[in-house]
Structure 1
Amino acid sequence: MNLTHYEWHYRSLPDDWQDKVAEWQQADLGYSDTFLRLCLARGLETLEEIKDATNQMPQTFHDAFLLYDMDRAVERIQTAIEDQEVILIYGDYDADGITSTLILYETLEMLGARVIYYVPNRLVDGYGPNLARYQDFVDQGVQLILTCDNGVAGFEAIEWAMQAGVDVIVTDHHEVQATLPSAYAVVHPRHPQGHYPFPDLSGAGVALKLATALLGEVPTELVELAAIGTVSDVVSLRDENRTLVLSGLQLMRDTMRIGLRLMLEEEQVDMENMTADTIGFTIGPRLNAIGRLGDPTPALELLKTQDEEEAQELLALINEKNQERKDLVANIMDQVSQRLGQGPIPHIIIESDPSWPAGVVGIVAGRLSEHYQRPALIFQYQADKGQYKGSGRSTEAVHLFDWLTDIKEHLAQFGGHAQAAGMTVAQDQWQDFVAALQAKAQAQAESEPRKAPLTIDLSLKLSEIGTDFIQEVQLLGPFGMDNDKPVFAFEESKLNQVRLIGTNSQHAKLVLGQDGQELNAIVFDFADRMRDRKVGDSLTAVGHLDLNKWQNRISPQLLLSDLGVSGAAWYDWRASGQQGRLWQLDQVVYVCQREAVKAQVYSRLQPGSGLMTYQEAQEANLANYQGLVLLEPPKQMSDLDQLVLSQDWQAFYLVLYAQESKYLAGLPQRADFAKLYRWLVSQEPFNLRARLAEISQGLAINPVQLKLMFHVFYEAGFVSIEEGQVAVQDASRHQNTNLEETAAYRAYQAAMDSEEALVFATLDQIKEYVKKLGVKS
């Protein structure tokens, strides 16, 4: 069994688990034996623990005044309200900071305070209390400052304000350093002098506690904000955070916040079945996006406004910024991946560039850490300030904040949590900083297993699962930090089907079979990890169970985390051709169709490997190579035939990236050609590249098909194309032209056939094709 990525660890069941399950069934809980077995595996040992863990309306909510300094903070704020002092709420630019700010702002408004808020611009103000900004607000008459989701590391600005006669009350949840700032009060669940029963509140959770203390009751209308902050900041979802999130999700179904409702409607969220994932993948990223690129205030205003027209404008702006954020992240990921592809992957990834915006590097770090299962720190080099500003993310095996604390002499500023941190490094400390972290990572690698651990809750048969069981599993949610989604293993399954999906074939859909039962499975982004698989293999599939809803049908689905399967001489890496092992191969020849691909990937090759186009490979001596790597499908299958027969290959590696898939686009119909021509005769000459998307949308013709049609028209003499400018020609001389006989059309058909036979075929089908050429596969 070849495990693709993780080190598997199965949870153990007690020896008397069958007796326990039988005993619990007598209590008539209404749960299946399989679910009760899962509960046992996850450490739930009594009926009461199971009832608590599955309770969707938990009531755990600790007394706010158990937080250290809460009484002092409340008393000072009440005095400020009575005396009509100007109160500033100084927040943070992420989703947790935005919701924290709004919780306190709306609370103080209800109490009649003179209150203003400020959410820092990360590019101008940086993280946490900013001395210059504090000075500006004090000059404007602010008399009391409340921080939320920041402040515990804001020594300089807070000390200045206190000395200037302006009290500062810190509400924060970030890691506490050796000393605390000299604030009037520090409300923090981990206060070193406090004894609060639950240390893992988010910034929004702490803000809600202060709001509750001020109002004398839990402000129900603010709980959904606390839920957003809690999930978005990836804190523990146990104890009272579970109460906050479940209650917030329940309230969010009928939210009165117009901006939030519009966002959820736009994303077609099932309001009756929202989960923590709704916040984590839909709400949180959008609120975070705008603060990553500049002023985060519009995100707060979106949640605050009661005007639908304003909400629509704000949501449009946020969506625009979110797309900009996605594009930036994708671009940086490409650049980092290219760098990493040039050699062995280091034990800790540390990369920097002056063009990488500091606001998005944390996302890149997170994706790299998840993919390579090691710490990743990504920085923007800010030459004008002589510093590196960045973010880091880590795996469970590395407490990143502790590592940074150990080498804080090399840091100008840092803060964060166990698996996420932000930091600033002075230019003259950069080399020492990098070396210190590399030394730590090297020591860690030598003492820890090479593969990251994956805990499997339960091994199941396909016959044991159904929609009822998965609905039972969902009762254990919300899932997230400290309450992971249950992971199941399906041993001795058969791989019945494999289909690559996604624009870059980065995802894969599989069908697993066992004793006449089948289960659909899907893997997102990391399909390259499902290596060496072929239909008919006996395997163990590992992942999370979910319900797939499609056309009013609900069916079980496995979200694949890992796969164990026997190796083979064929390596099907079509899901992610330029990741993982691809550039670590030696004595192989990489073959592509386009010169541009050669230019892009040449620097990644190992010394003993080669790279050439299909045309170059026809004439080359390939005797020194043992493996054939197909980076792209050929323009026509005959190009592949000659290459496959050129020698006795020991291994085939299938990457087969198809840019702008012609097979998926399909052939245009005759009516499409007619529609395009009718449109063209009414147009003045235009630039094709600039207007291609507009024409595609307006005529409802796939852009890939549209490019073909312009090539066909050019070849047939219907249009001229000079330097990208398209102009209609007199077509009367070409009325009898058969467009399907043009070279462009035939080449497109050949490319479709090539994609069908290689990109979209199963591995067995490809092997059968090669076998028919006379090659033993």
Structure 2
Amino acid sequence: MLASQSKWIFTYNDNQNTEKQPWSLEVEPIVKQMLYQRGVTTDEEAELFLNPTLAALHHSNLLDSIDKAVERVKTAIEKGESILVYGDYDADGVTSTAVMVEALRQSGAMCDYYIPNRFTEGYGPNEEAFREAHRQGFQLIITVDNGIAAVKEVDIANELGLDVIITDHHELQETLPNAYAIIHPKCSPDYPFKELAGVGVAFKFATHLLGDVPKELLDLVSIGTVADLVPLKDENRILVHYGLKQLKSTKRPGLVALKNASKLQDDVTEEDIGFRIAPRLNAVGRLQDANVAVDLLLTDNPEEAEELAGYVQELNTERQQIVTQITKEAKEMIETDSKHKDSSVIIIAKEGWNQGVLGIVASRLVETFRKPAIVLSILPDSNQAKGSARSIEAFDLFENCMKVKDLFDQFGGHAMAAGMTISLENIDRLREELSALADELVSEEDAKPVISIDQTVEVKDITLDMLKQLEKFAPYGMGNPKPIFHLVAIPSDMRQIGASKNHLKFKLNDQDAEIDGIGFGFGHLTDSIAPFTEVEVVGELTINEWNGIKKPQLSLKDVSVSDWQLFDYRRMKNWYTKISNEEDSYFVAFREDTNIEQIPVISSPSQLYELDAPVKNLYLLDYPKRLLELQNFLKKVTFQKLTVCFQATDDAFFHSIPTKEEFKWLYQLIRKRNYFDYKIDAPKLAKYKGWRLDKIKFMFQVFYELGFVTKQDHVIVPTPNPSKKDLETSTLYQEKLKAMDVEELLLYSSYVDLKKWLNEQIESELPKEEMAYGL
């Protein structure tokens, strides 16, 4: 057996029938299934999903107050008023700011932008910033990616004579700000799609202001949309689809420089945004004022763009170093203090930790320990700690933290992530109460990461045409994840690759079909999966191109083996070097004289009979002289992994049996000579015939048993007139035959034959001799 590292969730229904759907689209059956699972049930929906079009974007006039907001901007332009775009410090916020500023400038507006400092001002509008905007002569403020909760700040702006237009996408509060206009999908009953990112709302405003879809802004829109992890459905999918095309050929100097810093050339995918571009933009706001990121996106000077991109790259490198250091300190705190190590929810705090990266650190801790994690930076001046939290799927952070909300000074978030401020004296109590809740809700299985599986497929059904059709399911993201497939097959040609040999290359075989596989970080499995073992694997199906040849390939995400496994170390020199320090390992010897100094503790078979649970790793160091003994053992002991370490011995009992002709020749020799001095004659005979001494000894033992010879004055002499007896009547001879059968089966049989015989013993009834004694 081999347990999966993740919890597998099969999201499809084997009984779902897409044939009843009005499909006329010519696609592979599995593509129809995948579309159906994503809520696509008609040809029109399927066509739009597979071939997105900008014409399918919802009209911007469906957003409440957008006409009023645009008229206010046009009035400001006519009167020469100054407009301030008030943004946010993350990737969605800075791209939203850039989109709004460009649209306003194209419209002829005089505008500037402002990003609050994460550390000194926090998220969203603040009173001092609005007062400063008034002092600098701004008459209109437009918020992007924030503002929907700024009730007090908007009231202050109104008192100052400032008009505020809010464009936002965050959750609505009980009371809305008294703004001049609010552009928000969730405030607009007629707007069909409620899940736009902040940059998506800004883009809608820009579209309405400019009177047409500004395609040149889609590169920015795709970055903010992917970075903010909104569902890639409906409009978001269309915006990112075209935004990625725009990003591929963008002439925007800032993005060209940012792509170069990210080592991106032509094609840019949503993964490139998520793992390369967005982290660099986010790094600026995590460490300092995020205005630099907006400067980079807006500059039209290539030299300035290169300089700013270089600075952003330096900040990202610094951010990575800070995350690494804090993560290291956090892990040391957890592993050396039982208060942290034994709690079901990790809550750690330290003075001096950078608040801007604590969410990333919390994510790393969740990956390592598979527990919800809250990471806090202590603020000694206020006797508080401020930080971020991340969770596992089985523990809803928002719901459970709200049960103890009185412990927080400030708290906000959702099921998987949150931010909070808490008094220092409440930290230990928070740990205790959240851990108690987690103990009730989270099982050991729940703590595993979750893999959602879209379909089970057979190797023979995986074709290049199918994979090319599935490529149209991109862009992937929240709400439209990469398809994960489940296969049952037999791996072969498994080998470790990579500089550190920590990756796995293999093939999957099912009857006559075969597919290549790659498992990054799975190199250790080469010694964990036995030959000819059927495995279940889950992973992504991709097209791999090498030397111009394209082939399907599985990118492994997890693997499991449901049956017990046999590992064969028979007749292997230094086999004990392959033994790892695995937990729950037992080393069993059937013979008392078996002694292997590399194995500190050797058990007898009977010592395992009282075990309640299956043995995880069972090593058989030798085999018994009678198969019945091993058969009984296999009935009484269950195991997940069996390793046979049988070695050839020098014991005469386990060497080839003499032939009848050899017995006849030796007996005639004794009759002819009339005596045999064993000490003198046996070595000579061994040399003459090429026999081993133990073979000669065995033959004389059989002669003694049958009464053919006897001892006389320390020499062997033939018995006068012995009774006629067949060789098969010798008990020693019969035992030798049985021993040879045991040896042939257990030591020299093929892997497949040995596994088959062991399986038969495990699955069959107890041998009759064993049952007769009631054992």
The answer to whether the superposition gives a TM-score over 0.5 is yes
Query: Separation in 2 of the partners of 1:81 and 1:474?
Result: 45
Q: Distance in 2 between matches of 1:552 and 1:97?
A: 42
* Residue 319 (1) aligns with residue 303 (2): no
1:203 to 198, 207, 228: 198
Contact 2:116 2:289 in 1 (8 A): yes
Equivalent residue, structure 1, for 2:283: 289
Which amino acid letter does the alignment assign opposite residue 224 of structure 2?
G
Distance of 2:515 and 2:529 partners within structure 1: 17
1:6 aligns with 2:6: yes
Pick the structure with greater CA Rg: 2
1:613-762 aligned at under 5 Å gives the runs: none
What do residues 515-551 of structure 1 show as CA deviations (whole Å, max 9, x unaligned)?
A: 3544343444577799944555321110112233455
CA contact (8 A) 2:502 2:521 kept: yes
1:97 has 2:81 as partner: no
3-state DSSP of counterpart to 1:49: helix
State the one-letter code of the partner of 2:373. A
1:106 paired with 2:102, answer: yes
Alignment equivalent of 1:228, drawn from 223, 233, 237:
223
Q: Which aligned pairs between 1:106-145 and structure 2 lie closer than 5 A?
A: 106-145=102-141
What is the identity, as a one-letter code, of the residue corresponding to 2:122?
G
SS state of the match for residue 359, structure 1? helix
Deviation readout 1:19-72 (Å, 9 max, x if unpaired): 559x95xx4x44233433443455544433332321243533222232333334
Q: 1:419 to 1:117 in 2, by over 3 A?
A: same
How far is 1:482 from its partner? Answer: 0.8
Q: Give me the whole-angstrom Cα distance separating, in 1, the residues matched to 2:424 and 2:566.
A: 49
Q: Which residue, 159, 165, 186 being the options, matches 2:161?
A: 165
Match of 1:332 among 323, 326, 336: 326
Would the aligned equivalents of 2:495 and 2:526 in 1 still touch at CA under 8 Å?
Answer: no
Percent of residue pairs identical: 38
SS of residue matched to 1:3: coil
Distance 1:404 1:189 in 2: 28
Residues of 2 paired with 1:529 and 1:122: CA distance?
44
Which amino acid is 1:60 matched to? A
Change (3 A) 1:238 1:517: same
Give the AA of the match of 2:386. Answer: K
Map of 1:358 onto structure 2: 355
SS across alignment from 2:273: helix
The structural deviation recorded for 1:183 is 3.2
Shift of residue 78, structure 1, vs aligned partner: 2.9
Q: Structure 1 residue 84: deviation in Å?
A: 2.3
Alignment correspondent of 1:609: none
Note the 1:381-392 alignment, pairs <5 A: 381-392=378-389
In 1, Cα distance between equivalents of 2:566 and 2:335 = 23
The unaligned stretches of length 5 or more in structure 1 are 571-581, 589-619, 627-644, 653-763, 765-777
Amino acid at match of 1:2: L
Provide the C-alpha distance between the structure 2 equivalents of 1:547 and 1:498, rounded to a whole number of angstroms.
21
Q: 2: distance between equivalents of 1:139 and 1:526?
A: 60
**Structure-1-length-normalised TM-score:** 0.67
TM-score, normalised to structure 2, is 0.68
Cα–Cα, structure 1 residues 186 and 46, in superposed 2: closer, same or farther, change >3 Å?
closer
Paired residue for 1:544?
540
Which string of whole-angstrom CA distances, capped at 9 and with x for unpartnered residues, describes residues 600-649 of structure 1? Answer: xxxxxxxxxxxxxxxxxxxx9995899xxxxxxxxxxxxxxxxxx9xxxx
| CA 473–375 in structure 1, closer or farther in 2 if over 3 Å, else same | farther
Distance 1:408 1:159 in 2: 28
Aligned pair in 2 of structure 1 residues 153, 446: CA closer, same or farther (>3 Å)? farther
Q: Pick which of 143-152 and 196-205 moved more.
A: 143-152
Q: Residues of 1 paired with 2:72 and 2:504: CA distance?
A: 58
CA contact (8 A) 2:366 2:392 kept: yes
Inter-CA distance 531–173: structure 2 relative to 1 (3 Å threshold): farther
For 2:148 and 2:284, the matched residues in 1 are separated by 24
Preserved CA contact (<8 Å) 1:86 1:115: yes
Q: 1:40 to 1:62 in 2, by over 3 A?
A: closer
- In the alignment, does 2:475 pair up with 1:468? no
Identify unmatched segments of 5+ residues in structure 2. 568-579, 587-596, 604-620, 622-638, 642-750, 752-775
Q: Matches of residues 236-255 of structure 1 in structure 2 within 5 Å?
A: 236-255=231-250
Residues 181 and 371 of structure 1, relative CA distance in 2, 3 Å threshold? farther
- Tell me which of 456, 477, 483 is aligned to 2:474: 477
Which position in structure 1 is the counterpart of 2:28? Answer: 32
Q: Does the CA-based 8 Å contact 1:59-1:243 persist in structure 2? A: no
> 2:713 maps to which residue?
none
Cα 1:286–1:383 change in 2 (3 A) is same
| CA distance 1:500–1:216, shift in 2 (3 Å) | same
Q: Residues 569 and 172 of structure 1: is their aligned pair in 2 closer, same or farther, counting only changes over 3 Å?
A: farther
**Is the contact between residue 462 and residue 514 of structure 1 (CA under 8 Å) also seen in structure 2?**
yes
CA distance in 2, matches of 1:44, 1:428: 52
Shift of 1:489: 0.8
Partners of 1:43 and 1:461 in 2: CA distance: 24
In 2, are the aligned partners of 1:5 and 1:529 still within 8 Å (CA)? no
> Deviations along 1:632-680, whole A, 9 cap, x unmatched?
xxxxxxxxxxxxx9xxxx999xxxxxxxxxxxxxxxxxxxxxxxxxxxx
After the TM superposition, which of the residue ranges 182-191 and 198-207 deviates more from structure 2? 182-191
Match of 1:304 in 2: 298
Kept after mapping to 1: 8 A contact 2:261/2:313:
no
Separation in 2 of the partners of 1:337 and 1:584?
Answer: 24
Q: Which moved more, 1:323-332 or 1:217-226?
A: 323-332
Q: How does 1:25-64 map to 2 (within 5 A)?
A: 27=24, 29-40=25-36, 42-57=38-53, 59-64=55-60
Alpha-carbon distance in structure 2 between the residues aligned to 1:534 and 1:621: 23
C-alpha distance 407-383 of structure 1, shift in aligned 2 (>3 A):
same
Look up the match of 1:637. none
CA distance in 2, matches of 1:336, 1:625: 41
Distance 1:490 1:320 in 2: 44
Displacement of 1:220 after TM fit?
1.6
Does the 8 Å CA contact 2:347/2:427 hold for their aligned counterparts?
A: no
Indicate which of 240, 244, 255 corresponds to 1:260: 255
Q: Which amino acid in 2 is paired with 1:306?
A: D
Alignment counterpart, residue 423 of structure 1, candidates 393, 416, 420: 420
Kindly indicate whether the alpha-carbon contact (under 8 Å) linking 1:290 and 1:299 is maintained by their aligned counterparts in 2: yes
The DSSP-based 3-state class of the residue aligned with 2:355 is: coil
Report the CA distance between 1:467 and its aligned residue: 3.1
Q: State how far apart, in whole Å, the 1-side matches of 2:56 and 2:433 are.
A: 43
Whether the 8 Å CA contact 2:359–2:390 is kept in 1: the answer is: yes
Q: Distance in 2 between matches of 1:533 and 1:62?
A: 52
The aligned residue for residue 269 of structure 2 is 275
Which of 182, 191, 210 lines up with 1:186 in the alignment? Answer: 182
Task: State the distance in 1 between where 2:499 and 2:335 align.
Answer: 22
The secondary structure found in structure 1 opposite 2:56 is coil
Q: Distance in 2 between matches of 1:354 and 1:125?
A: 19
Matched length: 585
How far apart in 2 are the matches of 1:568 and 1:149?
A: 55
Secondary structure of the equivalent of 1:475?
helix
Task: State the Cα distance separating 1:497 from its structure 2 match.
Answer: 0.8
Which 10-residue stretch deviates more, 279-288 or 375-384? 375-384
Q: Which amino acid aligns with 2:138?
A: V
Contact 1:236/1:480 (8 A) holds in 2: yes
Distance 1:459 1:399 in 2: 29
CA distance in structure 2 between the partners assigned to 1:585 and 1:136 by the alignment: 65
| Conserved? CA contact 2:370–2:447, under 8 Å | no
